[in-house]
Amino acid sequence: MRKAREYWWILLAAVLFPVMSGGCGGGDGNAFRSVTATDRPATLLGDIPDLDFIPAFESRLTKKTKDVIADDTEIVVLHDWHVDSLSDAQKAGLKKVYDGGGVVVLIEPTYEELAKLSGVVKHDLKAAEDKGADHFCDMYAFNNDWHTYVVGHTHSDPPKAGEDEFSDDAAKKAYYEGLMDNFVEWIDNNGPHPKPSSPNFGNDGTSRIENLVKAQTVTFNDTHTLTLGAVHFITGLTNTYFIYALYDFDHDYDYYVFDHQATVINGPMFKGHWNDGETDWWGCWLYFYQASHALKSTGGTPLTPAVCNALQPRPTTSIGTTSYTVSQSYSWSGSLGFSGTGATGGLSGGASYSSSNTTDLSDIRINYVTGSTDEGTTWQYQVQNLPTFIDKIRILNGITDPPLIAVNTAVFYDKWIWMIREPKKNGGKFDASCLFIMNYTCDTAKVLYGSFKADVTENLLIFPAFYPHTINLTPPPREKTPTP
């Protein structure tokens, strides 16, 4: 067993690398819907690289042309290396698509190339990260309505010496099909659309910010693959944020309301039982998921508790029920500033917020980390009732089944509000630093059949996956609009 332990820890060191971000828990293990496609007219500029997910993506663009941006184009796709080669006509076409509410997609962007592209269309980047000359994600999509979608590193790097390549083509294809279904669905929901209707004011003189305030939305869709001999694993994680920003003129406070949903695809990780010739293995299944957030000024300086507090973080308790509701409500009084669903707006009578989500969270213990209510928030979702060996002699027939949430799609919700005192004196613009951690586990047994002895390791952590991201928050207006 010592040899097997050493193998796992060597492997663990090799796979600890960061990779790039709806439903109900306990559903289909693969969590893939039927194929989604969009008939929004799309233009592909330049050569598109043959990455693992590209065939699934292009097949979902049912109306696509090459290189010429037409008057009705609503989606523009190009690769990082083509940005400097854009003609004046293509730049003008890009700007027209963007201004009309269309979606711009950059494949394998570096921060520098994405910044160049955003300069062409005059777009304020919302979730870009500077990784130097390295591309920080596989796809970055945005529109002019504060919606951003980031597809993380989805394709495997070439295997190192002694490692097997991820060769389970059917599993990879199924995963990328589902990944692109989600992405194209986002494109369809965020292309050109009519402006929302005017907000409705309540009889009590307050108004719901969901109807008033322009929401910043960011989605991170991440993938991680792992190969162990002839056994291949792939897992996915989608984190989606709705963020509302308000400014309190009476107290000089910024408020950032966060509504966060994490979808963890566990099904493709579960392989049941296999033997590598020396050791029996059972796994993999989810051990825990963790989401941490910290607020910093744009320059990277952490905000101290004296400046920033997380208000009303939800959820905060440990639970083990089959259904759980995460809800949050808050109200403001006085004079408020915000970017509205129409133009920049303001209220003098106050505003309210209310949000609620219900999900299946059986066999999960939720822990909101004590002390994180200052400048940061951290939630841990720990799977309970994990498999154990019933009989260490009859090892092959003695393992309990993992709970459904550990081997199927799991959905977690958390909510909080950041309040920043004197925001203009403390940086003016702020970033939300996000870190998502998934740990998977398995059981191992080295069986000596002749003497009926077994060396058993239960719940061995083999697959910690780290996903760091940054959200560039759009601040609310802090100057009152003059009354005509």
Domain boundaries, the chain: 1-40+216-484, 41-190
pLDDT, mean of residues 361-383 = 81
Q: Please give the CATH number for the structural domain made up of 1-40+216-484.
A: 2.70.240
How many whole angstroms from its chain centre is CA 321?
Answer: 25
Q: Output the CA angle 397-403-407, nearest 5 degrees.
A: 95
Cα(121)–Cα(106) distance, rounded to whole angstroms? 13
The per-residue DSSP string of 371-415 comes to TTTSSEEEEEEEE-S---BS-SSSGGG-BPPPPHHHHSEEEEEEE
Lowest mean pLDDT among 22-26, 250-254, 339-343, 344-348: 22-26
Q: What is the pLDDT of residues 162-219, one digit of tens each?
A: 444 555 677 778 888 888 999 999 999 988 864 444 444 333 445 788 888 999 999 9
Percent of the chain whose pLDDT exceeds 70:
77
pLDDT recorded at residue 285: 87
Question: In the predicted model, what is the mean pLDDT of residues 100-111?
Answer: 96
> What confidence score (pLDDT) does residue 35 get?
63
- Say what the pTM is: 0.85
Which value, in Å, is the radius of gyration of the alpha carbons in the chain? 24
pLDDT, greater one: 218 or 397: 218
- Whole-number mean pLDDT of the chain? 80
pLDDT of residue 436: 94
From 112, 466, 444, 89, select the one nearest 282 (Cα to Cα).
Answer: 444
- pLDDT tens per residue, range 60-98: 999 999 999 999 999 999 999 999 999 999 999 999 999
pLDDT digits (tens, 9 = 90+) for 120-174: 999 999 999 898 889 999 999 999 999 999 998 765 444 444 444 555 677 778 8
Mean pLDDT of 467-477: 94
> Tens of pLDDT along 370-380?
665 455 899 99
Residue pair 395/454 in contact by the 8 Å Cβ criterion:
yes
Q: How far apart are CA 176 and CA 181, in angstroms?
A: 8
Residue 110 vs residue 4, higher pLDDT: 110
